[in-house]
Structure 1
Amino acid sequence: MTPDPRAALLHAALATAARGWPVIPLRPGDKRPAGHPQGNCPRTGRCSDGHIVPEQRATLDTGLIRAAWSHRPYNVGIATGPAGLVVIDFDTPKTKDEKDSPCGETTFQALCERAGQAVPTTYRVRTASGGTHLYFTAPDGVRLRNTAGRLGPLIDTRAWGGYVVAPGSTTPAGAYELVDPVPVAPLPRWLLALLRPAPPRPVGPLRLPAVSGSRAARAALEQECAAVTAAPEGQGNVTLNRSAFKVGRFVAWGDIPRHEVEDAFQAAGEARDLTAAECRATIRSALDSSIRKARPRDAA
């Protein structure tokens, strides 16, 4: 008799939550979160006030976990920020151009040597692709974000705004396996110094590009751009997405050119320390969705 994979994955989800690490369901056999992506958000139900990102859906509630994993054999994700974790992700070369490059773990070992530090001993997971996750507890009073390549090629970190696949999950490439069950170590200070966000830049009045269009459209755009620049830490992208969606109806009605809305939100997002690429992707997705779903003006 073939064992039901839901039982093993439910056990992994419950064991993860028991450590105080909020979990999210990932698509069966996949690394992507279950549910709809931001670009296809229906803006209804729990997303009526804006797309709910996986980090916001993470839970320790065993009742919710049992209900979800009894429905489908979801893989298990850990919302690293709410879990109080910083996870260093060592990847392996994948493309032909990278084949002669050292893997992320080798690069990290060299980084430790240059810093005069030993490779930290901590909770370690082998990923399905042959890489490694090193788990650390996040420092108090510092809200670290995800990074890509800051510590070196093929080295990413996951903290607030990110998640990792928990051991016990499987993909077509293989399984995520716990290889060193030692206690999770605090993030070393020398690594914190490399990952600590840059001090905030002095922020003056936001200068938006010159905007044409109707008075209502201009007022809405100005108000929503102000909301983006004032977004709480960790909520910049969500706020940008929600605000751009609200203004999208004015674009659909022909009250204001799309490129002017994009330029204004791009400036607001970058002022909130989002990357240029992140802003462009979020704005485009939100406007596309808003324009597609906009009701006629007299029905709005």
Structure 2
Amino acid sequence: MSAALSAAEQGWHVFPLRPGTKRPALHGEAACSRAGACEGGHRKWEQRATTDPDRIRATWAQGPFNIGIATGPSGLLVVDLDMPKPNSNGDTPDGATTFKALCERTGHAVPTTYRTRTASGGQHLYFTAPNGTSLANTAGTVAPLVDTRAWGGYVVAAGSITGAGPYEPVGAPVVAALPLWLLSILKPAPKASQAPSMAVAGQSRRYADTALACEARSVAGAQLGEREAKLFRAARALGRFVAWGDLPRHVVEQALQEAGEAAGLPPSQCRATLRSALNWSVAHNQRRQGAA
């Protein structure tokens, strides 16, 4: 109860998790009686999470529940630096290592902010999400074993205890604002094409050529501190054209490689960023938008 109240004092919306676990303790929709808090319809954990101290005391007086923090309503973006899975290769780096490498590639230090050590030995980095931006959960988008929790997600709060161990606060006591370079990676890429699904090949190719020119120009003009993130987002946006056959991959790579180097990025860093971002985009855009 004390840990739940402490989280609520930070403005974080909490809800109970089953004792000793990470699973919500609230009833599911199938078991909903449509009474009490659900009188107007079933309310899920994100809707029922609260900062009301009276509700928190009443709930935790019923048992030693763990604490879940609904990240979206709390205005949080939490970066989850996970540990390798049991079936991973022995030399697989953990999330903290891959996140540190990403920070180094983008020319930034690992952000100083409030964080917790998870029961598995990983870390949760807490950031305040920018106003007016609705971020969703991600899995592996930032880097391998680096996930994020925002709207539609929750994290286990410090003070909770599972069979694997406790969740404990470590590091800085203050939650920092989400860095702009990280926000640029997490923001949904703008839709690259509004062309109808049955557009002729010539129209589609002309649109792709225009998009390539615009993205290359944007990367080449990027300022210090945003160069790698802009290159990453440009490759993610253009990768769909590669997947759809509108642009050859080597054309995209050459144009963005030249743009990245023109902005001052090392050639090897450009190649690594382009390879990672294009591989992801091609794999996730096999079907053209608007296709049946």
Q: TM-score range by the shorter chain?
A: 0.5 to 0.7
Bigger mean CA deviation after superposition, 70-79 or 51-60: 51-60
Equivalent residue number for residue 54 of structure 2: 63
Q: How much does 1:201 deviate?
A: 7.5
Match of 1:13 in 2: 4
Letter of the aligned partner of 1:158 in structure 2? Answer: R
TM (normalized to structure 2)?
A: 0.63
> Aligned to 1:78, what secondary structure does the other structure show?
strand
**Structure 1's 63 and 107: CA in aligned 2 closer, same or farther, altered over 3 A?**
same
Distance 1:13 1:44, change over 3 A: same
**Aligned partner (choices 81, 90, 95) of residue 86 of structure 2:** 95
Q: CA RMSD in A?
A: 2.4
Q: How far apart in 2 are the matches of 1:50 and 1:199?
A: 34
Q: Does 43-52 or 168-177 show the bigger shift? A: 43-52
Could you say which residue in structure 2 is the equivalent of 1:157?
148
2:127 to 136, 139, 145: 136
Contact between 2:112 and 2:172, CA under 8 Å: does it hold in 1? Answer: no
Q: Secondary structure at the match of 1:109?
A: helix
In the aligned structure 2, how far is the partner of 1:43 from the partner of 1:63?
23
Q: Give 1:39-188 correspondences, 5 Å limit.
A: 40-42=30-32, 44-45=34-35, 46-47=37-38, 51-188=42-179
Amino acid of the structure 2 residue aligned with 1:76 = I
Q: 1:236-275 deviations in whole A, cap 9, x for unaligned?
A: xxxxxxxxxxxxxxxxxxxxxxxxxxxxxxxxxxxxxxx9
**Cα displacement (A) at 1:51:** 3.9
Cα 1:203–1:130 change in 2 (3 A) is: same
Letter in 2 for 1:65: I
The Cα shift of 1:139 comes to: 0.8
Change (3 A) 1:34 1:204: farther
Provide the identity percentage: 59
In structure 1, stretches of 5+ residues that fail to align are 1-9, 206-274, 276-300
Taking the aligned partners of 1:60 and 1:53, their CA distance within structure 2 comes to 16
State the alpha-carbon separation in 2 of the partners of residues 84 and 189 from structure 1.
16
Following TM superposition, by how much is the alpha carbon of 1:47 offset from its aligned partner in structure 2, in angstroms? Answer: 4.7
Superposition TM-score, scaled by structure 1 size? 0.61
Q: Is this contact kept in 1: 2:95–2:145, CA < 8 A?
A: yes
Distance 1:203 1:50, change over 3 A: farther
Amino acid at match of 2:125: L
Say whether residues 1:34 and 2:16 are aligned partners.
no
